[in-house]
Amino acid sequence: MIEKDELRLVELIAARISHDLVGPVGATVNGVELLGDGEVADPEVVRLIGHSARQASRRLQVFRAIYGTAGALPAGAPFAAANALLAGMLEGEKVVCAPWSAVAAIEAAAGRAGARVALLAAFLLVEALPRGGEIRLSATLANGSVRLDLSGTGVGARFFEEVQATLVGKVAVDELTAKSAPAEMLRRLAAGIGGVLSTAAEKDKLMISIVFPALGDD
């Protein structure tokens, strides 16, 4: 039987995914309807349809990786794959993602579960950069532990209060919203791999750090 708290989180994640997809999917449908009126195709309409469809597809790929299973990322080079998914989702947006330079040893030690955590943390940081900015990852391996430091830098960078509180475990499940549900998911995923999650903030910069034991290429 699904626990009440788990069901609540599933409902909120489903609501969040729907909210994030309704824009690009709706724009695609509107564009197709315009073309269906029988008039000569406007190149701008065709371009917008293509952009919206690609945007929806790329968001879906990211959601599959962060809300599905770790198996959604390939074994062998999961960080490179996660980086590519994030960069694709951000194409044409105000936030950019610097290349993730996780070496082979870290790829292997962190595994797909670690890459999934990194991708979800980066997703949260994107939302914390309302005026645009840059996402970076620093990954290190020492004494059998992996450390992931993800930073989001940009003017006005900040977490919503409820998201920050959720990340540090100060929000009960029945108080979560669709806005804070991804933060709860990250907190649980980090705990699930034996990790310790922390956040830090300074002017125009946010950091999410996760330290966890080497997992192997699961």
pLDDT tens digits, one per residue of 67-108: 987 778 888 789 999 999 999 999 988 999 999 877 778 888
Which superfamily does 4-213 belong to? Histidine kinase-like ATPase, C-terminal domain (3.30.565.10)
pLDDT tens digits, one per residue of 173-196: 889 999 999 999 999 999 999 999
Q: Which residues of 109-146 are buried (b: 16+ CB within 10 A; e: fewer)?
A: bbbbbbbbbbbbbbbbbbbbbeeebebbbebebeeeeb
The pTM for the full model equals: 0.90
Domain boundaries, the chain: 4-213
Q: Residue 213's pLDDT is what?
A: 92
What angle do helix axes 43-67 and 78-90 make, rounded to 10 degrees?
150
pLDDT tens digits, one per residue of 127-150: 999 999 999 999 998 888 999 999
